[in-house]
Structure 1
């Protein structure tokens, strides 16, 4: 079974007024003082107002879910010591001027990318899935391209930007796509072609490590899927990870069987990215099979059907079915942020509400015998019209 892990980026915020605080260095100091026994992997990010929590590779959904919850709790305990909290918001609802992290790498990024880098206080969810070789990895990248916008829609969690409602479900995606190499790519065809393109990009002097929506990891034998917002609810993080692993497994099997990838142009995929960013699950999405608008419910059902066999074989099928139904019924993180804003009327209260959701223990969390969490909701089939 393929192993998988996640990287979650979080904001460090004032628990009273909701404003992000430049405390990553202090949180990292406290983490280091705890020694290796802390068990969690934390990293600073581009701005001092954010922090990344990285899981180890896991073979089961239950193991990954447990570390996701533990990582959030550990990071939050350190932030509390520093007088702050950790919150899973992909953008800050409140306006601020971020403080870049000072080191050689980030200093160079800010110098080169100017305002794009200085404003890039965004938090994503990156999912790594193991592959057997670069050739298999590139074959996977070529065959999952059309299925990534629905993942973005499911994870959408950034409706507010610079103190106002952006109108988008994932405004992080709009901000992220200002990077020069961000977005969907054409079919590569081979590992040699992939590495040749990466080398050519590096030779331009603009790009060091490309920000493709999905790429080969530069450090691990994995593919790295990077389209998702950090998820407000940890159960959604688990869902996205399960879907990504199933997409990778399904794509690898297609490659092994000789099935050619969909050659749809990247510019069409970019329209699907835009639709998912704009509407989340509240409007139409591009259907991955037809590349024509369809209801979000039917598109999510198509994604589910596409990876169903891989999900069942990994033991993740029941959890994914139940979690998809929950999101379709209750809404994404973006919807829940907007609901909190309507109820309370202040963006600071949106952050306070989000802090509670970031760290909640999912009801009925008892790992089942098949290695998946046993959180229970109605089947997805009941929600598809």
Structure 2
């Protein structure tokens, strides 16, 4: 999440459709989570000439047991990149994070992505997954939408791309038309586009989530009401099979002072079972100046939800969103602080049979924030 206010929206919406509480997920499949521990990475750590920070997505590589972590540096400090790291996790907690490699994300011509400028923009990396079939890396970035009166708009399209393990370009997946950024009042908002990304159904499906509502779908969440964003289910080749409406929680608190910055949205998603195409974890991240962050993780189920991929807008339409239930609220755990947590992945299984869920925070390269690795033990 870059720290600036997302573009305001004024789309009218059917309150009964958009803001009613979602139904509970199927009671036979309920996850529970308990706290294992945390490890904090030193601020502005130098690794192989790069500044470690902005860590916004993480995945465990089953081939190595290490973790692949994407950095959301928009080539401002160093070229857009990812890291690999060793993170010891067991029933006693989390050990120190040891970085083992870094590679830039490369374009089709083999070049790195250019730094962001006021007139051209650049990519904004957000999430990364290891392809269970090939070992390549799937990564999302949310582009840019800067539209101001009297100035030429800066439009950088979001994307889901594939790179090899050395960062070299393989291909880019086609995205649904409604996720195309425009200068008009439709499509994703700036800094509210593609965030969550996961494989499902044994790697045969790619599932993604936009952080906030599309401009034509709904107004942003406030402390008075939630909102709706879209999750998209695609084949590995990019064919869009379905979109589902995800009901987001209201903003957890007003900022202090009330005119200050606040935001809430989805920052990560993860398949619950790699073979199940219907159950996911969804991370919602809220922030209010003077209050701080709130991070909640929900289990969702798409079974019975309406496929809205052919809905030009969700406003005023009747449909059933995905069901959801709370699995974890980081405010309930003895963390040193609740910071800007943006990434999650499954870690190793514990002797108890529980799976570990590994979370990572994006410090925005700011000395006032931290890079945390958090481990939870999850039982189904």
When normalised by structure 2's length, the TM-score is 0.29
Q: Which has the higher strand share?
A: 2
Alignment TM-score, normalising by the size of structure 1: 0.28
